[in-house]
Amino acid sequence: MNIQTPPSIAVPQASTLQRPTREEAEAAVRTLLLWAGDDPNREGLVDTPARVARAYEEFFGGYEIDPVELLARSFEETDGYDEMVVLRDIRLESHCEHHLVPIIGRAHIAYIPDGRVVGISKLARVMEAYAKRLQIQEKLTAQVANTIETVLKPKGVAVVIEAQHQCMTTRGIHKPGVSMVTSRMLGAFRDDASTRREFMAMIGSPRLGAEG
């Protein structure tokens, strides 16, 4: 079995600013509860700051993950397979960087190998590593596609995300049921219309929104 490790590349990580302590984070939550008009010392809220801190560790765990490292192990024993590899309907949970509210949807990832393939779970993990950070959907779409292209060096990469943003459905304009669709097509998916159509047919989504 021939396993290759790609050269390291620079991937933006979390801020280098000093991270507050858990106690400081919980104090900040108590301040927000007071600002909202409630009493953080009442029975129903007394443990809320600690719960929120734990939830944030889960919501934003992507800052602790290197997406490049997830793709570090690739395999050349493919018996010449060079057709499209598609992972569709990946559950997407992220948070809007403007209002800190959820972005919920699904993602589809495809690539055309050029002699090297990667375990399919790694594609979903790359998506999750970027999704579990403060995001805008356009940037998330580009980050996933660009990382796969840079590390695996395939003949083409395609990423499509369709999601609902609670900053739009639960506040502001209050328009539930509206989805945002973004795509990033690289290599053969950008250059060859028939390849792009095949991918769109395979994911069963004819809609195509903002293309990166």
Report residue 3 CA to chain centroid gap: 26
103: which strand partners? Answer: 94, 165
The verdict on whether 174 is a catalytic residue reads no
The verdict on whether 97 is a catalytic residue reads yes
The residue annotated as part of the active site, out of 137, 138, 164, 198, is 137
The residue annotated as part of the active site, out of 69, 93, 96, 198, is 96
The verdict on whether 95 is a catalytic residue reads no
For 76-136, give the DSSP string.
Answer: --STT--S-EEEEEEEEEEEETTT--EEEEEEEEEEE-SS-B--HHHHHHHHHHHHSSEE-
The verdict on whether 83 is a catalytic residue reads no
Tally Cβ neighbours within 10 Å of residue 98: 11
The verdict on whether 24 is a catalytic residue reads no
The verdict on whether 98 is a catalytic residue reads yes
Inter-helix orientation angle 48-59/22-36, to 10°: 110
The residue annotated as part of the active site, out of 99, 138, 149, 166, is 99
- The one-letter code for the residue type at 76 is E
The verdict on whether 137 is a catalytic residue reads yes
For 175-201, give the DSSP string.
Answer: -TT--EEEEEEEEHHHH-HHHHHHHHH
The residue annotated as part of the active site, out of 95, 143, 162, 165, is 165
The residue annotated as part of the active site, out of 108, 135, 143, 167, is 167
Nearest CA-CA partner of 189 in 163, 162, 210, 212? 212
The residue annotated as part of the active site, out of 23, 24, 97, 211, is 97
Residue 4 DSSP SS3:
strand
Q: Which active-site residues does the annotation give?
A: 96-99, 137, 165, 167
